[in-house]
């Protein structure tokens, strides 16, 4: 009995890791398929589908759109979130509990409903569908995240340093850029990279708010209509790879440092 339990535990862990990785392995493996269908038997490896993807200008421009959108909306979300966290942590405002609740409220609402609301409002105002409209939606979903992360790292220990800077004649914006931001950079960085991954992977808001010029997940969505294809595997593997790079950067730069 004593020897059985650990091996049962290992078997269980192994099965679950298999379950977790099975679809990813199928995705990446059959992106190197040499023939027309991404199902067994595997004929490869071949890079032909990656070449097809890179030659497809719709996909490559969607890839660039997605990257630009992810960087721009994340920077803006971190900026707004940082200012709000500073204001609510350092000043006593009437109804600050309410404000905190308001700013984090979008976390509770599904992306579909946020996208639908913006779609209806923009329709009513005559604002055409565009990447910028989707960008507004991405800031809405990422601002609460950035705010919550940065706010949670605003401690009392930074207050004295900020006060010292102010006594030495620093203006508000100088305190923010020279004192507060550098002290909080792990939180700023974490907010930025998490927002990047969420924006990069986001589908339904972009689907509802863009038309011709769109993001990569939306382009992949329209590829799905033609059924299974190694081409979809190839672009899907690229999307996955970029997400993993973002997460690894976050892990290596921010989380590892905090542990020391």
Partner 1 sequence: MKGGQRTGDLHSALRPWYFAGPATLWTVAFFVLPLAAMAVVSLWTLEGQSTDFSLANYRQFFANPSYYRAMINSLEVTAIVTVVSVLLAYPLAWILAEGVPERWQRLALILAILPFWTSYVVRSYSWLLVLSERGVVNNVLVASGLLNAPVQLANTRFATILGFVHFFVMLLTLTIYASLKQLPRTYRRAAADLGASGLQTFRHIILPLTMPGIMVGAFLTFVLAIGDYVTPQILGGNNELLMPQLIMLQIGRRGDFPLAAALSLILMLVVTVAYLAAARWLKLERA
Residues within window 81-140 making contact with partner 1, judged by CB under 8 A = 81, 83-84, 86-88, 90-93, 96, 99, 102-103, 105-106, 108-114, 116-121, 123-124, 136-137, 139-140
Helix (H, G, I), strand (E, B), or coil: what is residue 228? Answer: coil
Identify the residue among 19, 157, 226, 260 touching partner 1 (CB under 8 A): 19
What's the distance, Cα to Cα, between the start and end of the chain in Å?
40
Q: How far apart, in Å, are the Cα atoms of 239 and each of 22, 27, 64, 67, 247?
A: 17, 11, 12, 10, 13
Identify the residue among 52, 67, 75, 240 touching partner 1 (CB under 8 A): 240
Identify the residue among 18, 172, 174, 257 touching partner 1 (CB under 8 A): 172
- Smallest gap from residue 185 Cβ to partner 1 (A): 18
CA-wise closest residue to 190 among 241, 140, 138, 142: 142
Identify the residue among 69, 232, 234, 254 touching partner 1 (CB under 8 A): 232
195 lies in the site for partner 1, by CB under 8 A: no
27 lies in the site for partner 1, by CB under 8 A: yes
Query: Greatest CA separation found in the chain?
Result: 72
17 lies in the site for partner 1, by CB under 8 A: yes
Task: Quote the Cα angle for 80-81-87, to 5°.
Answer: 90
Stretch in the footprint of partner 1 (CB under 8 A) among 25-33, 45-53, 56-64, 182-190: 25-33
CA-wise closest residue to 187 among 158, 222, 209: 158
Q: Are 141 and 70 in contact (CB under 8 A)?
A: no
- Smallest gap from residue 51 Cβ to partner 1 (A): 20
Closer to partner 1 by CB, 47 or 120: give it: 120
Q: Are 62 and 216 in contact (CB under 8 A)?
A: yes
192 lies in the site for partner 1, by CB under 8 A: no
13 lies in the site for partner 1, by CB under 8 A: yes
243 lies in the site for partner 1, by CB under 8 A: yes
> CA–CA separation, 248 vs 6, rounded Å?
31
Q: Are 234 and 52 in contact (CB under 8 A)?
A: yes
64 lies in the site for partner 1, by CB under 8 A: no
38 lies in the site for partner 1, by CB under 8 A: yes
36 lies in the site for partner 1, by CB under 8 A: no
- Smallest gap from residue 239 Cβ to partner 1 (A): 5
Stretch in the footprint of partner 1 (CB under 8 A) among 13-21, 56-64, 67-75, 184-192: 13-21
> CA–CA separation, 163 vs 168, rounded Å?
9
Query: 204 — phi, psi (to 5°)?
Result: -70, -35
């Amino acid at each position: 009995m004593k020897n059985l339990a650990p091996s049962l535990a290992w078997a269980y862990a192994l099965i679950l890791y298999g379950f977790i990785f099975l679809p990813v392995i199928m995705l990446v493996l059959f992106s190197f398929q040499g023939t027309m269908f991404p199902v067994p038997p595997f004929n490869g490896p071949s890079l032909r589908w990656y070449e097809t993807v890179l030659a497809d200008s719709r996909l490559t421009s969607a890839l660039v759109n997605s990257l630009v959108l992810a960087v721009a909306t994340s920077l803006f979300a971190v900026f707004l979130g940082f200012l709000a966290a500073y204001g609510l942590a350092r000043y006593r405002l009437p109804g600050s509990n309410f404000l905190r609740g308001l700013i984090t409220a979008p976390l509770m609402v599904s992306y579909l409903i946020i996208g639908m609301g913006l779609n209806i409002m923009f329709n009513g105002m005559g604002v055409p569908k565009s990447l910028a409209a989707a960008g507004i939606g991405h800031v809405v979903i990422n601002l609460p995240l950035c705010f919550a992360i940065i706010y949670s790292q605003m401690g009392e220990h930074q207050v004295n340093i900020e006060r010292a800077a102010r006594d030495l004649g620093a203006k508000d914006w100088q305190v923010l850029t020279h004192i507060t931001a550098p002290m909080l950079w792990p939180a700023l960085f974490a907010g930025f990279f998490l927002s990047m991954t969420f924006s990069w992977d986001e589908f339904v808001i972009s689907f509802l708010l863009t038309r011709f010029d769109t993001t990569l997940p939306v382009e992949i969505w329209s590829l799905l209509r033609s059924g299974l294809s190694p081409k979809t595997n190839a672009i899907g593997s690229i999307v996955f790879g970029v997400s993993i790079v973002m997460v690894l950067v976050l892990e290596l730069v921010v989380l590892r440092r905090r542990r020391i």
